[in-house]
Structure 1
Amino acid sequence: MSINELINQSEGRRLEFKGELPTNSDLAKTVVAFANDAGGEIYIGINDNPRQIIGLSEEELPRIEEQISNLIYDRCYPIILPEVSFLTIEDKHLIKVCIYRGSMPPYYLKDKGKLKGTYIRVGSTNKLADETIIAELERRRRNISFDSEVVMDKSADELDISGFKLLYKEKTGEDLNIQVLRKLELVKTEQDKEYPTKALLRHINKAANIEGVYTVSRWEYPVKAIREIIRNAIVHRDYSLTGKDVKVAIYDDMVEITSPGLLPPSIDYSAMESRQSDARNKVIAPVFKRLGIIDQWGNGLKMVAEEMKSYPEIDLCWKEVGLSFQVQFIKKNYQENTNMEDSADNERRPAQSTTQSTTQSTTQYTTQKLTEAQNMILSYLREHPEATRADLNSHIEGITVDGIKYNLARLQELGLLKRVGSKRYGYWVVLGE
């Protein structure tokens, strides 16, 4: 990719622009965050907002290079070796700092220590890692996964895994005895006693729920591709992030799958047609392969790319939302009946009387069952009529910004919600009460 193409990209997980050499702490945080994740590049001499090449003094380049190298050596631990190079574009001089994915995470700021100085990259920002994320980085350094850790609260023979044994027998034709459990690393021996790993204790014993991976209901969409993304979400999610679940949301215009945990650094959705394989959960993934949920390592995204060719009317989009990874299958030609916050439309549209609104709302409410998210939105707006989409997103768990936008439009379409006034200074009215 040429530098001209690069500077037209947005800052993100692996890219950052700086007009001048940033403060010591800012640069060190970015370097640490890149090393803890997928690596990244910092371009100095390019403003981000507005995006503009301003350049650096040619005479100052050697001094800045030495300053960057010394700063990274002095402030970051373990040692990070940057690759610093000079670029020239439009007769202006830039410095490129390339940070590679580290093999000894967690990386952190020396003066802050591991607990207060470990940063990760979330979108285009550096986020202070909590203890859960630090533990995951330490597992990555030791090349072990969360699901392979031993849980010593109960011995293996105290667990009721009869349902999983039946499923395993049905899918593989084999009995799930203690030898097989050991081979699959679902149990491990500690102090001459068998203990379950987290894969068995917390997830595999819930195997009856796995049936949902085998079925897909929405025929308008590429069902094989959706099934593969759901499989990936379940098999490769970050189970160390407690209190989070895989979410599948079905809207009028899209299907959305959200999986806890950022995309593994070695997986690139923009190169879907190539074979890619990186199992975050090194115990769960082989078990799912034995059960036939995973067909063949590395072929999943390639299969998704192939099926999408048969669905030109569907857009496949992916993005990182906080500490989650989200995939959307979106209908290209879907037209919403309502523009939820179009102030011009609100001002042009004649106001309905209270009686008309209530009648319409009551009629549609009895024929249309509301989702849990829609009920939560209505409940919040009753108490906070001036709330914005951002307010709703921050106060309602388990729903994305796009989900808020869709559900607000849907509630207006049903006649249960009305926007009064402009986008900036207006307020919401819950109807039919």
Structure 2
Amino acid sequence: MAPTSAKRTHDLINEALQNIGPRSTKKTRLQRITNNDALNAIQTMEDLGKLIPWLIDPYRHPRQLIVIGSDLARAENRPEITTGGAALPIDVIKENERLKLAFQSLVARQPQLPQLIEEYRKNDFEKWQDIMALVAHASSQTCSNDSSTLHDKLEYFLVDPKEVVPRELSSKVARGWNSQWTAERLCPQRYLEKFHKDPDSFMLKVQKGARKYQQHTDWPAFLYDASAYDKDDPEADSLRHILIGPSAAKSNSQVTLPRRCNAGIIGISKIDSNLIAYAACQARFILSAQTDWGQTDGKFDGGAFYDRITNYFKTGLEQGDETVTALLSCEVFENTNITSADELEADSDDSDNEDEDAKIERQRQRQQTQRNATGNGGNDDTGSNGNSGSSNGDNAGTTGGDGNSGTRNDAGPTA
């Protein structure tokens, strides 16, 4: 059977929309759309909306990703865009690249998308608004449905098998910085020592708006295996157990993939940095006192937090970070043997002066220096000196990103 043309798909989508409108339930679609081809066509567009939060970005509006992304994709072979005779600022160039790549990711799932956009632009652009509303609704519903499903899954954060979730946390508004149980997990890992000294005082400062303890530039404690955190190497075992849960991570039994789970439906077979970032954002929402899914929680910017995580993996891959490579190559649904490191050391006052991104960058530079030394044949003079490698690593680390870039026009803070 010949593939359906973009014009035919365009007509089928319009036929379906005439019966259901841009927002509808699955039951309504099945009742009102009698043409199976039209039903499949509209379902394909809705699936694009579901993919956006999982694989692209849970906080961006699909219109921006699709409309601007398509324009950028069409213009990718043109000379560099300039405005007023000057090149675009670097942050705009990075943002455009992200939008273009996002659109290309959607095209990989729906190859007819560029042609469909042209069909609507030429024939009935007003109906394109309905398509965007359909995709945006599916994207928003995906985030809301996921957060609703995870609402009562606080047991995912239990480490001690004897521990139980406090009963009062069944109420969402009792969570966040209103409860010591959830506050301990939301607290930046490097501030846990201070938190444990006086939890009530710490929580009160946050409730009054202390930005220092609500920054997206810090990794929250819930992302870590508490026994494996190393303040001098903040990426050790970070983010790993959020994918399978602390109890599953520590179990020797294999966890099987349900046939109708989201990963199976959209064909996810390996860990992706966007999936990890999305899982982390959903996990933080579970712990927070927010009642509705959204980007901000007090001083905390979920969008910047999401960007920071994806940027952590992007820069890690670019720099050959073995920890990042290992994390992205592990099996999500199989047991992973997480080994415990030394007990968490007490934070010194100096720890506040350097954020974790700078420490990660210094660690990566040190690893790169060691690899270079090995590649050069292990020169005896350099090796016996013992100062060159560590000095270069430390100096490189101090020039790393300061982690203060919280705009959505950047791919997160530079690690």
What range is the shorter-chain TM-score in? under 0.3
- The TM-score with structure 2 as length reference comes to 0.27
Which of structures 1 and 2 has the larger relative contact order (alpha carbons within 8 angstroms, sep 6+)?
2
Q: Which has the higher helix share?
A: 2
